[in-house]
Amino acid sequence: MNRSTVFTVAALVTVAGLVGFAACSDTQPTEPLLQDGIGDMLAAHSPAHLGASGMASLASTPTYTELDGASASETAGSLKLAVDAGGDIARHSDNFIRSVAVFGYAWADLATGQALVAVIHPVIGRDSRQNPDGWHTHSVELTGGTASSDFCIVSIGRSQGGIAIHDDTLRVNTSRQWAGISAADLDVAAAFVVQVDAGCTTTGLGVAVLDAETL
């Protein structure tokens, strides 16, 4: 998806009201995320290759940050999501992943801002019991972005889902109940990084889209 289309997609997000921020935690869902210096750590790892637009220069990022395709389907209450990246996806953290606060792939419902993400973030440490040092999933709520972020993070929910990586493909299999969304509602998939953004007033966290595909 080209740059202008990404911003068009971002502009389509409408959320009727902001919900209270839930922490990125399996055991304490109401614990604030930005605490004990984590906000400073996030700020220190905001990606330097991102410009004021929030878009990344793909020439400076790995090919797995580009998307060649994506899909979402549902069978018997199980949500099946996938992305086809432009190159082999890192199974473990590499130099790029360690240079940013959070890297991941998202599947989003633009009408509500609800999304499911598969993320990896060794820099900010553990926030889940599901493979906390590697790839794991979260439900999230997003709202419209700012001058430097395509979206703002409103809340981050609990993690529950299976992830499989094979070469340039990442697949997620989770229950619809945990995801809180249906495949039919999902509009777009994206590769993204999380960055500090004071304009995202609820959490101070913004999402910079690296590449996106419509579903």
- Evaluate if residue 1 carries a pLDDT over 60: no
pLDDT at residue 99, as a whole number: 85
Is the torsion defined by CA of 44, 204, 193, 37 positive or negative? positive
Mean pLDDT of the chain: 76
Question: How far, in Å, CA of 135 to CA of 94, rounded?
Answer: 13
**Between 192 and 158, where is the model more confident?**
192
- Evaluate if residue 191 carries a pLDDT over 60: yes
- Evaluate if residue 97 carries a pLDDT over 70: yes
pLDDT at residue 82, as a whole number: 98
- Evaluate if residue 18 carries a pLDDT over 90: no
Question: How far, in Å, CA of 159 to CA of 26, rounded?
Answer: 6
pLDDT at residue 119, as a whole number: 93
Write down the pTM of the prediction: 0.79
DSSP 96: H
Overall average pLDDT of the 148-170 stretch: 89
- Evaluate if residue 16 carries a pLDDT over 50: no
Overall average pLDDT of the 73-89 stretch: 94
Question: How far, in Å, CA of 139 to CA of 194, rounded?
Answer: 15
Tokens for 198? 């004071």
> Residue 189, SS3?
strand
Give per-residue pLDDT as tens, 27-42: 333 333 444 444 555 5
Residue 208 has a CB neighbour count (10 Å cut-off) of 26
Question: How far, in Å, CA of 162 to CA of 93, rounded?
Answer: 18
Q: If phi over 0 gives left and psi between -120 and 50 gives alpha, with beta otherwise, what is residue 204?
A: left
- Evaluate if residue 89 carries a pLDDT over 90: yes
Beta strands in the chain (DSSP E): 67-75, 78-85, 102-108, 114-120, 136-144, 151-156, 162-166, 169-175, 188-196, 205-214
pLDDT at residue 196, as a whole number: 85
